[in-house]
Structure 1
Amino acid sequence: MFTTIRNAFKNPDLRKRLLFTIVMLVIFRFGSAIIVPFVSGSALKELVGDGNNFFGLLNTFSGGAFANATIFALSVSPYITAQIVIQLLTVAIPPLERIAKEGEAGRRKLDRITRFVMVGMSLLQSFGYYTLLVSQNAIASEYLKGGMKYFVMVVIMFVFTAGACAVVWIGDQITEKGLGNGISIILFAGILAGLPSNIDILINKFMEGGINYVIVPIILLVFAAMIVFIIIMTDAERRIPVQYAKRVVGRKMYGGQSSFVPIKVNLSGVMPIIFASSLLSIPSTIGAFANPAPGGFWYNVLYWLSPSHWFYGILYFILIIGFNFFYVTMQYNPIEMANNIKNNNGAIPGIRPGKPTSTFISKVISKIVLIGALFLGIIAVFPIVFNAIFSIPVALGGTSIIIVVGVALDTMKQLESQLLMRHHKGFLE
């Protein structure tokens, strides 16, 4: 890895791209430190707590900007939400489905629609953020009287929305002029930015005697094993062999070669985890606003649905598996895959073209999806089990590790491919 990075800095074009990416990330971190007007920057830290809740997840993705109420507090969450909404609507609404099938032009149209939806989501989340700030006394009382109240609300919502749009713009610039996928790189940077504070929490807990010195190497070994496991499962794939028939065009013969259709074990990425955590965050979010009385019915319901309860872990695991099957079903169509193979004069050895091929692909995907769903469920639930056993809050959960490892692997592969193109041994050498 270090050799690849060193060789990339030796190439002028790649060095320019790497430095541009670094500059954009520095701008992102500066924006994550500028507090929104009229707001107390430390008022939401108690709400985030040790990070093992939905607000902690948002804070992790934003690199601590959510807890400090900075202009980039929303980070890329409105854009990710808009993407999920458009992907679901593409299957449900025929006009959007037709646009999606128009190739590159259709993709650009859907991207523009996603940007408009993102602005609406940003305004909606900004209003929710403003309400949360008011409930947590993060805004001084003199700013919440008379007409000043509405002026302050509009300013805060506008700043949060503008910050979300600016983060997406930074991501687009990284994708176009830098290296890697911009949105993923920003998520990667936000998670790594919160790593020192998480390490500091563990060190303070260790110094106070809350962590036994014997547990420290166990923690390091467990997280190292998780990273290795995630790398193996991220690169794992099932290859379906495809044999293409020979055909004669004029005096030349084409085809006859063997290929394969790769089906990754983790087809859905971290989307099922985001779906499940967003759904289970609704009760805790309502509880943060309602503040039910201790001992009551709703208090007990919120207790059972808190991230530290075993029932939450079981329900979380089941939802991840369900959403994984749902997301893969929405994104992958075995009938269309079988038709593409047939139209290219290909066939799976031992399987007849047409419906038998689609049935075979469907069975393979179902088995692979089950393995991928169990993998995601284990990684997501692990921090809850770890916290219950050792009583150590692990803010850097499985979702964050999957994102960090996945983005690092994709970026390194892209960097290696760029180096290969620029150092290809051709006929002139």
Structure 2
Amino acid sequence: MLKTLANVFKVPELRNKILFTLFLLAIYRIGFSVPLPGVDQEQFVAMQEKQQSGEAGAAGRLATYVSLFSGGNINQSTIFGLGLMPYISASIIFQLAGTVIPALEKMQKEGESGRRKIQEWTRYATLLLGLVQGSFWLSFVQQQGLISPYFATGAAHTMFWVMGLAILATSTMFLMWLGEQIDEYGLGNGVSLLIMAGILSQLPGAIGTVINTFDPGTSADASKISTADLIFLICSFVAVTGFAILITQAQR
């Protein structure tokens, strides 16, 4: 196996593709270390600790699961927090719309020209959904009292919203661009690789949260995960991950 790997790196073109892909994946992960301006990160750390101990309730667990499914990291509120969630949503919308709207269905069958047109519309929809989903996330941050005191009131609060929406939406577009660069100059399907990298980074923490909050009984405690919840979560994870990969493969 090591010999095969060494032989791969002896081929200049293949080596360059692998190194380029790894470089962009590294940029992708670095972005998750840059905090979103205006958010009290200490409060977020405290909320994350509650999630791991099962004290954060349904809203906190939802943030963890959404992060896991999208390859993002909204439960730490970084500039790449939305991940590729808006892009995945936009892609699913256009794929489903193609089955009920004749004009889109015809365009999907036009080959490369139709695919490029749909991809262009998907970009616009991604930007719009990035703004919408970003506003939902910032509203959650505000409701939980996680905004830094300086940005809590007045003009600074307005600036927090404008800046936050701009960063979250733009970063999603940047991640989509990274995926396209991997498609063209790297190795494999770019969006699928980015999603996989995000999921793998979130998987250990998500598993820990599930273990700490799992209750096989019939407890009515909203902070606990029942057996039915666990089965639903596993099925949702498999379905969402598989569907996202099928969508990105279909757009190649």
TM-score of the aligned structures, taking structure 2 as reference length: 0.78
Alignment of 1:65-76 (within 5 A): 65-76=73-84
Per the alignment, residue 9 of structure 2 pairs with 9
Rounded Cα–Cα distance in structure 1 between residues aligned with 2:72 and 2:110:
40
> Counterparts in 2 of 1:119-158, with a 5 A limit?
119-158=127-166
As a proportion of its length, which structure holds more helix?
A: 2
Q: Which has the higher strand share?
A: 1
User: Which of 302, 305, 308 lines up with 2:225 in the alignment?
Assistant: 308
Instruction: Sort the Cα spacing of 1:2 and 1:104 in 2 relative to 1 into closer, same or farther, 3 A.
Output: farther
SS of equivalent to 2:119: helix
C-alpha distance in 2 between matches for 1:5 and 1:307: 45
Q: Distance in 2 between matches of 1:154 and 1:25?
A: 28
Give the gaps of 5 or more residues in structure 1.
206-299, 318-378, 382-396, 411-429
Give 1:137 shift: 1.5
Q: CA deviation at 1:398?
A: 5.2
Whole-angstrom distance in 1 between the partners of 2:241 and 2:112? 32
The aligned counterpart of 1:104 is: 112
**Distance between the aligned counterparts of 2:65 and 2:241, measured in 1?**
12
Residue aligning to 1:193: 201
Residue 83 of structure 2 contacts residue 172 of structure 2 at CA under 8 Å; is this kept in 1?
Answer: yes
1:18 and 2:26 aligned: no
Aligned to 1:38: 38
Aligned to 2:51: 49
Paired with 2:126 and 2:102, the residues of 1 have a C-alpha distance of: 21
Identity of aligned residues (%): 32
Q: Do 2:131 and 2:165's aligned partners in 1 also have CA atoms closer than 8 Å?
A: yes
Q: Equivalences for 1:273-422 in 2 at 5 Å?
A: 303=222, 308-312=225-229, 316=232, 380=235
1:16 partner letter: N
Distance 2:242 2:3 in 1: 24
Q: How many residues align?
A: 231
Alpha-carbon spacing, 1:43–1:87, altered in 2? closer, same or farther (3 Å) = farther
Match status 1:86 vs 2:94: yes
Q: Aligned-pair distance for 1:62?
A: 6.1
Once residues 60 and 42 of structure 1 are traced to their aligned partners in structure 2, the CA distance between those partners, rounded to angstroms, is 22
Quote the residue 2:121 is aligned against.
Answer: 113
Q: Bigger relative contact order, structure 1 or 2, given CA contacts below 8 A and separation 6+?
A: 2
| Contact preservation (8 Å) 1:191, 1:400 | no
Residue in 2 that maps onto 1:226: none
Aligned equivalent of 2:192 = 184
Task: Tell me the residue number matched to 1:164.
Answer: 172
Cα distance, 1:35 vs structure 2: 0.7
SS of 1:163 mapped into structure 2 = helix
**What residue identity is the alignment partner of 1:308?**
I
Q: CA contact under 8 A between 1:62 and 1:75: conserved in structure 2?
A: yes
Q: Equivalent residue for 1:221? A: none
- Cα–Cα, structure 1 residues 76 and 173, in superposed 2: closer, same or farther, change >3 Å? same
Tell me how far apart the structure 1 counterparts of residues 65 and 5 of structure 2 sit (CA, whole Å).
30
- CA shift, 1:6, in A, is 2.8
RMSD: 3.5
Task: Work out the CA distance in 1 between the residues paired with 2:103 and 2:240.
Answer: 35
Unaligned runs of 5+ in 2: 213-219
C-alpha deviation, 1:26, in angstroms: 0.9
